[in-house]
């Protein structure tokens, strides 16, 4: 069973899956931090710096991978 999200080329992508998981977790954190004790859950105040520390390396991995794959295709076509 394959749990990876498919990228725009239709191939499974671990980096895209990690970006989507991190984005979902961060958006949930941000939404829950708006309310005081939602559902009796103690939440940590949202911190954009910490969120970017998580997202930046994952986004760099995903877009770096796409860049190198596109460059490989262009070089093989020449």
Per-residue confidence in pLDDT tens, the chain, 78 aa: 678 998 888 888 888 999 999 999 999 989 888 887 777 878 888 999 999 999 999 999 989 988 888 888 777 876
Task: Go through 39-71 and write b for each residue having 16 or more CB atoms within 10 A of its CB, e for each that does not.
Answer: eeeebeeeeeeebeeeeeebbeebeeebeeeee
What does pTM read for this prediction? 0.77
Under DSSP, the state recorded for 67 is H
């Amino acid at each position: 069973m394959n749990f990876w999200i498919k990228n725009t080329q239709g191939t499974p992508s671990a980096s895209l899956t990690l970006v989507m998981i991190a984005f979902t977790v961060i958006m949930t954190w941000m939404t829950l931090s708006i309310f005081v004790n939602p559902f009796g859950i103690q939440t940590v105040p949202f911190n954009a710096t910490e969120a970017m520390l998580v997202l930046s390396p994952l986004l760099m991995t995903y877009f770096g991978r796409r860049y190198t794959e596109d460059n490989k295709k262009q070089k093989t076509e020449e």
